Amino acid sequence: EKGTYDHFMLKEIDEQPIVIRNIIQKYQHEDGSTRLDADIRAAMQQADRIYVIAAGTSYHAGLVGKQLLEQVANKPTEVHIASEFLYNMPLLSQNPLFVFISQSGETADSRGVLVDVKKKGHRTLTITNVPGSTLSREADFTLHTFAGPEIAVASTKAYTAQMAVLTLLAVDTAYAAGRTLDFDPIQELGIAANAMEALCNQKDEFEKIARDYLSVTRNAFFIGRASDYYVALEGALKLKEISYIQAEGFAGGELKHGTIALIEDGTPVIALATNEHVNLSIRGNVQEVVSRGAAAVIISMEGLDQEGDAVVLPRVHESIAPLVSVIPTQLIAYYAALHRGCDVDKPRNLAKSVTVE
Ligand code: F6R
């Protein structure tokens, strides 16, 4: 039920802080240790490489998950687009573990890979919002994202829930291997939930950005480096699917290799600048597009912010910053679609779950 909301998408955006807190409760014991099936823990320990398979927004969550699994858990990880994997299969390691990320658990492209790798005898884990779904039933193991039903076609809370569960999986794997971490990722998730809530309480700001920059434009660009790049991809997908604005996400450094030719007077460029070690270089990229006429919207973070930034996020740990930095892009996409008179919850040509290959 939509309750007081005009659209499921806005309701689901607002639910994200609660979803993250709920996931922490589900996956963490009171003494702070993680609660994961012993079988999943063992499968993670035995795997010498993780192959993440997903589509669309879930693929974008997988990209962030790769960083977590490598940096927190020290597990080599690759992320693949499900529809490409079978036709362009990488050489597999000795003991691969396949991790399928799917909100619906019904995506045919992902299922095609699952069926194939199972036949070859590889182990499989599904991270899904629907535990009874096909991908969940057919995989060896399931991790539930506990986001509650997601009705809007554009995925929001399922995406942040996937990243939170990937964080828990990475932490559990790290601890099980006896690693010590120099920060507490689960505590940081709690801090991220508070930051998400603060952003959900400043909707007017995002509505204004959407109105000022996106109500009449034909195209828009999102740029970022490191994990900000992954959020740029997700922000662009969200904007294009519900507002029909042609939007692309780029790695900041790639602009000069071609895309910058598209920048004209007034072209909106939304820049994510929440990663400390690339802050100067992404700001350099913003300069490059602004000097060619772009209308830049910079989303930065406390401690890294500069005068003129459109949005300054509360400070959160870099490894989970995407959970927070995606919120402005979700809200900007929502209001852009609204201002342009689009059907926010049911965009044209799209289905909530894609059950054909
Ligand atoms: C975008 C969106 C899609 C899905 C994709 C995968 O907002 O919802 O890109 O993320 O179709 O779906 P699931 O996660 O159900 O496998």
Tokens coding 95: 């003991």
Say what the pLDDT of residue 352 is: 85
Cβ(128) to ligand 1 under 6 A? no
Tell me, in angstroms, the distance from the centre of ligand 1 to residue 103's CA. 7
Q: Strands 295-301 and 123-128, how do they pair?
A: unpaired
Cβ(83) to ligand 1 under 6 A? no
- DSSP letter at 34 equals B
Evaluate if residue 348 carries a pLDDT over 90: no
- pLDDT tens digit sequence for 284-296: 999 999 999 999 9
Say what the pLDDT of residue 355 is: 84
Residue with tokens 């689901």: 12
Report the predicted TM-score, pTM, of the whole model to 2 decimal places.
0.97
Confidence of residue 356 (pLDDT cuts 50, 70, 90): confident
Confidence of residue 329 (pLDDT cuts 50, 70, 90): very high
2 catalytically annotated: no
From the CB of residue 274, how many other CB atoms can be counted at a distance below 10 Å? 28
Say what the pLDDT of residue 350 is: 87
- Amino acid identity of 204? D
CB contact burial 277-287 (16+ within 10 A = b; e otherwise): ebbeebbebbe
Indicate the average pLDDT of the chain: 96
Q: Which atom of ligand 1 is nearest to the CA of 153?
A: 8
The vertex-157 CA angle with 153 and 161, nearest 5°, equals 130
Tell me, in angstroms, the distance from the centre of ligand 1 to residue 56's CA. 5
Say what the pLDDT of residue 341 is: 96
Cβ(234) to ligand 1 under 6 A? no
Catalytic residue among 118, 203, 346, 352: 352
> Ligand 1 test: best mutation among 103, 241, 350, most atoms within 8 Å of CB?
103
- pLDDT tens digit sequence for 251-303: 999 999 998 999 999 999 999 999 999 999 999 999 999 999 999 999 999 99
Cβ(354) to ligand 1 under 6 A? yes
Q: Are 48 and 95 in contact (CB under 8 A)?
A: yes
Say what the pLDDT of residue 207 is: 98
Residues 6+ apart with CB under 8 A from 259: 221, 248, 250
**Is 257 in a helix, a strand, or coil?**
helix
Say what the pLDDT of residue 199 is: 98
- pLDDT tens digit sequence for 22-77: 999 999 998 888 999 999 999 999 999 999 999 999 999 999 999 999 999 999 99
List, in sequence order, every residue forming a beta bridge with 220; answer none if it has no partner. 247
Q: Which atom of ligand 1 is nearest to the CA of 352?
A: 8
